[in-house]
Structure 1
Amino acid sequence: MRYSTQIRPISYLKANAAEVLAYLTENREPLIITQNGEAKAVIQDIASFEETQETLALLKILALGNAEIEAGEVQPVHEVIAGLRTRQTIK
């Protein structure tokens, strides 16, 4: 995707808000908004935003897992399974 085709001044957004929202929903591409010739904001449809947030959450979980591995905070899987089985028989 080429972002250079997705740049609009803030005046365009103000004058065409409904059309911009329809475009975002239909094309699922972000739109860069400029003010005084400088990029100031990026807007996107809600579905794309939610997907991005979910992706970031998964990446954070992976990063935390990698940090635990590097810190040696792991147990062999057979020990974890044995512990789970022990808990089930206790209840």
Structure 2
Amino acid sequence: MKLTEDIKPVTYMKTRAAELLREVKRSRRPVVITQHGEAQAVVLDVATYEALRDATLLLKITAQGEADIQGGRTVSQAEAFARVRRRLANKE
């Protein structure tokens, strides 16, 4: 993050919104929006936001899996496949 470029006051966003959006899209770097000298929001391009969201979801799923392992809530691969086969057979 380049402090002189990546932190902007809310007035900048108000007066130069289109320019700000073009720069965020071009650079793919987040811009921190400040109000009264304090950070209030972050502007991201859509691709970066989606990548962050996907990474966060993957970490959440991984943490849930680790918690299941620690809690003993697992079954063998053979049992998992057997359960799926039974469910599929019941739907036919």
Matched residue, 2:3: 4
RMSD of the alignment, in Å? 1.9
Where structure 1 has 5 or more consecutive residues not aligned to the other structure, the ranges are: none
The CA distance in 2 between the partners of 1:88 and 1:9, in whole Å, is 57
The CA distance in 2 between the partners of 1:10 and 1:79, in whole Å, is 57
Number of aligned positions between the proteins: 90
> Structure 2-normalised TM-score?
0.82
Matched residue, 2:62: 62
- Relative to structure 1, the CA distance from residue 15 to residue 84 in structure 2 (aligned partners, 3 Å threshold; closer, same or farther) is closer
The CA distance in 1 between the partners of 2:56 and 2:72, in whole Å, is 24
Matched residue, 1:18: 18
Where structure 2 has 5 or more consecutive residues not aligned to the other structure, the ranges are: none
The CA distance in 1 between the partners of 2:55 and 2:28, in whole Å, is 16
Q: How does 1:19-58 map to 2 (within 5 A)?
A: 19-58=19-58
Deviates more, 1:81-90 or 1:62-71: 81-90
